[in-house]
């Protein structure tokens, strides 16, 4: 069955403007990031029966036990990445594809890995239909990164990582930034790792967030 592009009505656009105002008030200052959130129709990534939830600043289930991150969290992680046009960006945890579209809106070349086959299949078919054919999706284990396409200017992990995977550090360019929520299942600390020109690392922490866990076993056919 062909996938149909959902409608983006004036009502949706109006709700999106309000959501962006809300996120600005919560402290996101980067206008380019706010513009990207105003451009990408978040309701496209929701089941039609749950559309009314799309413009609340809340996470929401997307099936397979996973969630689309809270818009504030998407904005916060994106702001930390300091995306420049044509940056090569690796995302771990494609999920609905919403975060990947925000990165693409900012001019990034996006590579995104998902370990759950159902989500991978659904999202990789959906992204070209909603206008993001350049996002490259991969079915695999994010702990390993994407050696074939490395190195990356930026990396974003959108699941809770119990530790910082070594492969990601290796695949980051000097001058590159990794944004990753590190911690156990209950709460994680948003963390950035900058790879310096001499290949040393500088770590900074940005407070508590909650993500679904990054799962360590290899990619699963579920
Ligand atoms: N960025 C997503 C949010 C995804 S939630 C969005 O915008 O919708 C986290 C995602 O990470 C889930 O889809 C989960 O299946 C995936 N995930 C968990 N462990 C992973 C791993 N080891 N490698 C790749 N993806 C993983």
Per residue in 7-21, pLDDT (tens digit) is 999 999 999 999 999
89-99 average pLDDT score: 97
Residue 15 lies in a domain: no
Residue 48 lies in a domain: no
Per residue in 21-63, pLDDT (tens digit) is 999 999 999 999 999 999 999 999 988 778 889 999 999 988 8
Establish whether 96 is a catalytic residue: no
Structure confidence at residue 222 (pLDDT): 47
Per residue in 104-135, pLDDT (tens digit) is 999 999 999 999 999 999 999 999 999 999 99
Q: Which of 48, 69, 96, 112 is catalytic?
A: 69
- Decide if pLDDT at 3 tops 90: no
Per residue in 159-211, pLDDT (tens digit) is 999 999 999 999 999 999 999 999 998 999 999 999 999 999 999 999 999 99
Residue 147 lies in a domain: yes
Number of domains in the chain: 1
Structure confidence at residue 49 (pLDDT): 78
Residue 5 lies in a domain: no
Ligand 1 center–CA 215 separation, angstroms: 9
Ligand 1 center–CA 122 separation, angstroms: 13
Burial class (CB in 10 A: 0-12, 13-18, 19+), 10: exposed
Residue 32 lies in a domain: no
Residue 34 lies in a domain: no
Structure confidence at residue 218 (pLDDT): 56
Ligand 1 center–CA 85 separation, angstroms: 24
Structure confidence at residue 51 (pLDDT): 83
- Pick 64 or 99 by higher pLDDT: 99
User: Domain range holding 204?
Assistant: 59-217
Mutate to test the pocket of ligand 1, among 67, 93, 98 (most ligand atoms within 8 A of CB): 93
- Decide if pLDDT at 93 tops 50: yes
Mutate to test the pocket of ligand 1, among 60, 95, 163 (most ligand atoms within 8 A of CB): 95
Residue 106 lies in a domain: yes
Kindly list the protein residues whose Cβ atom lies closer than 6 A to any atom of ligand 1: 66-69, 92-93, 95-96, 98-99, 113-116, 119, 141-143, 158-159, 212, 214-215
Residue 37 lies in a domain: no
- The mean pLDDT value of the chain amounts to 94
Q: What is the CATH number of the domain that holds 97?
A: 3.40.50.150
Rg (CA), the chain: 16
């Amino acid at each position: 069955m062909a996938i149909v592009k959902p409608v983006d009505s004036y009502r949706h656009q109006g709700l999106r403007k309000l959501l962006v105002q809300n996120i600005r008030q919560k402290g996101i200052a980067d206008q380019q990031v706010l513009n990207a959130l105003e451009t990408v129709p978040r309701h496209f990534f929701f089941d039609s029966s749950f559309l009314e939830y799309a413009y609340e600043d809340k996470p929401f289930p997307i099936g397979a036990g996973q969630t689309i991150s809270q818009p504030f969290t998407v904005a916060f992680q994106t702001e930390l990445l300091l995306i420049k046009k044509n940056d090569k960006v690796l995302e771990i945890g494609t999920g609905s594809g919403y975060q990947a579209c925000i990165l693409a809106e900012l001019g990034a070349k996006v590579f995104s890995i998902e370990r759950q086959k159902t989500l991978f299949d659904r999202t990789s078919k959906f992204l070209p239909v909603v206008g993001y054919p350049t996002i490259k999706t991969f079915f695999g284990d994010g702990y390993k990164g994407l050696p074939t396409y490395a190195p990356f200017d930026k990396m974003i992990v959108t699941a809770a990582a119990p530790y910082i995977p070594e492969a990601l550090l290796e695949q980051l360019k000097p001058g590159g930034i990794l944004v990753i929520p590190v911690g156990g299942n209950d709460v994680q600390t948003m963390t950035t790792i900058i790879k310096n020109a001499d290949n040393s690392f500088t770590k900074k922490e940005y407070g508590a967030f909650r993500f679904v866990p990054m799962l360590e076993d290899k990619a699963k056919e579920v």
